[in-house]
Amino acid sequence: MFALNPNSRQASRAAWVALHYSNYHGASPSGLRALRHVMKVSAKMIADVGVKYYLQFATEDYISGQETGNCFATVLYQKKSKPEVNIKCARTQDQKQIQEEDRRVFQYLRHQTKPITANKIPDSHGNIEHALLPVWALAVAGSSHIMLDKSKENVGYFLAQIRTAKQWIRKDGAVEFEYTILLHKTPTQEMDLCYMNVLWSLHQVLTAKYICASESHQLDDGSGQEFGSAAETLHKKGGNFLQGLSASHTRSMGKLCAQPEAAITFPSKPRYSKRE
Amino acid sequence: MEEIYTWMAHIQNNSELVTQHYLGKTVENRTIYYLQISQPSDKNKKIIWMDCGIHAREWIAPAFCQWFVKEILQNYETDPKIRKFLQNLDLYILPVLNIDGYIYSWDTARLWRKNRSPHMNGTCYGTDLNRNFNSSWGTVGVSYNCSSEIFCGSGPESEPETRAVVQLIESKKNDILCFLTIHSYGQYILTPYGSTNTPPSNNEELMHVAQTAAAALMEKYGTIYEVGSTSLILYSNSGSSRDWAHMIGIPFSYTFELRDKGTYGFVLPDDQIQPTCEETMLAVTTIIDYVDQKYFPGGAMILTSGSLGLSLCLTAVLTLIVP
Ligand SMILES: [Zn+2]
């Protein structure tokens, strides 16, 4: 076991990994946390397995920035699979109040008669329409799953922006959203594009499925040439997952992803839209 | 960007302290200007350098450079601190270095980072200007692939934007005491080096000053900044302007990573711009103040006369004891 500098990049990265875990598994868009600062950290090499971090850190509410109490966590970076996390946090906020807020958000989303669709959350200037805050929060919770899966001891992620969000009205009472999101990866500084489907039913059940075009460099000159190969990868990787979606969903992905503007130019006819 | 050009011209016309100077051209042939703030004096003054907007998508950085200039001009007559350091120091402020990239991030791709130099017959664009300086260029934390966000260019100083900065700084390096380069996000004050774990010779002082600056910043809104060497607390990188400035002999060289910690990241909301600028102002003036005191100690009148009095007293006492 060796002590590390709490300011070190390894410490804050590991603390974020622990928060990705709790933000996803907490299944509570009203109770998301962000890292404030790491107070203590040590690490241990475990032969044939990986490195395990022991952390104590302060957190704040992801959306309001209010202090939300300290966490203790362990993060085990494994050579062969995603990081394994244990985390326990003190709560300075009223737990009942958060649950009540989640319920309110859930009902609000569930009772939309017209499905919500939106582009760019936040927009270029950081604005989020009040009505879209829950859509953002749900994406934070869902993308935490992706970021947890992809994080490594020397690679970290942040949700940079939601490019598109589209709700699916369901008859079973759950809330479903389709997203395309950009993840900011450090230290490579790339923006990874992911497609993500988030399903939320109350009582702490939230699942996110995703495909990322991570090996490409999407931030090209906008000609879209590079994304052609990325879409191919996306298509191949997503084979099984896409079969699980209904025909109408799959059809819509083509439209959803065909954002004409800005950093990412999808091919005009995404190949994966023709799967049905 | 048009607004920034207009603002620079306007501010030069409306203040006796400010002059606009040509720094160089961008890849797309736009003119890069910097502002010089100096009080008329026949004294031999030293220089503080600050640049913003080397990375296109970090919009809060150019906003801060403009805020900084505005604050100095508004307050230099009434704020004794500013008045004092302006007697000894000229401020060189570069509001946007990567103008092409900055415009591209407004018009086309909000999250664009690099400049806009074409490579491989125009099939990919952009060099990371903060990997392009001649400080252990190309050794660590870079990519040689031009489609990477940390592409270090075809060689050290391959980019006109880099060369423009280098040319000016080299010509004045004996007078430049402090080199500040403003980025976002993460809330850090970073010291050299990024390219090696070996600390610079004046590391202790660099750290001390940065910690004082972070403490001053925190007093405003409670925002926590972490302080440390780039390779330790951020990540290893080579070819950065901060490393280069220190390596050519500029003693106080820092990178600022402004708000936030990652929730909004590059798309910092409008309502955080002013508080970010206000708190950063305190950190930056703390550093300038320190540099001023260190190189122009005569200005601290009260302290000097106080300690002078004390030593006179001691001499008197000693004289009495040892006849
Ligand atoms: Zn930057």
Over residues B93-143, the pLDDT tens digits come to 999 999 999 999 999 999 999 999 999 998 999 999 999 999 999 999 999
Give the count of domains, chain B.
1
Q: Looking at residue A214, what is its pLDDT?
A: 58
Residue B305 in domain: no
Mean of per-residue pLDDT scores for chain B: 92
Residue B313 in domain: no
Residue B183 in domain: yes
Nearest-by-Cβ selection for A186 from B148, B224, B235: B235
What single DSSP character describes residue B30?
Answer: P
B302 touches chain A (CB under 8 A): no
Chains A, B: CB pairs < 8 Å: 107
Nearest-by-Cβ selection for B110 from A124, A128, A226: A124
Q: Looking at residue A123, what is its pLDDT?
A: 97
* ipTM entry: 0.89
Could you say which residues from 81 to 120 on chain A have a Cβ atom under 8 Å away from some Cβ of chain B?
A: none
pLDDT beneath 70: ranges in chain A = 214-276
**pLDDT higher than 60, residue B302:** no
- The vertex-B243 CA angle with B241 and B244, nearest 5°, equals 60
Distance from CA of A104 to the nearest CA of B (A): 23
**Which residues of B does the annotation mark as catalytic?**
257
Distance from CA of B196 to the nearest CA of A (A): 15
Instruction: Write down the residue that tokens 């942040």 correspond to.
Output: A158
Which residues have their alpha-adjacent CB atom under 5 A from ion ligand 1? Answer: B 55, 58, 183
**pLDDT higher than 60, residue B170:** yes
Residue B225, domain CATH: 3.40.630.10
Give this prediction's pTM: 0.86
Domains and CATH numbers, chain A: 2-89 (3.10.450.10), 95-272 (3.10.450.10)
Rg (CA), chain B: 21
What is the rounded CA–CA span in Å between residue A257 and residue A161? 15
Over residues A232-258, the pLDDT tens digits come to 334 334 333 433 333 334 333 333 333
Residue B308 in domain: no
For residue B182, give its domain range. Answer: 1-296
Pairwise CB contact (< 8 Å): A220 & B125: yes
Pairwise CB contact (< 8 Å): B269 & A127: yes
Q: Do A29 and A105 touch, CB atoms closer than 8 A?
A: yes
A200 touches chain B (CB under 8 A): no
Q: Looking at residue A202, what is its pLDDT?
A: 81
Over residues B8-23, the pLDDT tens digits come to 999 998 899 999 999 9
Mean pLDDT of B264-291: 97
Q: Looking at residue A259, what is its pLDDT?
A: 32
Residue B228 in domain: yes
Work out whether the CA dihedral B174, B177, B183, B189 comes out positive or negative.
positive
CA distances to B290, B309, B310 from B305, rounded to whole Å, are 19, 6, 9
Residue B316 in domain: no
> Around A275, how many Cα atoms within 13 Å sit in the side-chain half-sphere?
24
Residue B314 in domain: no
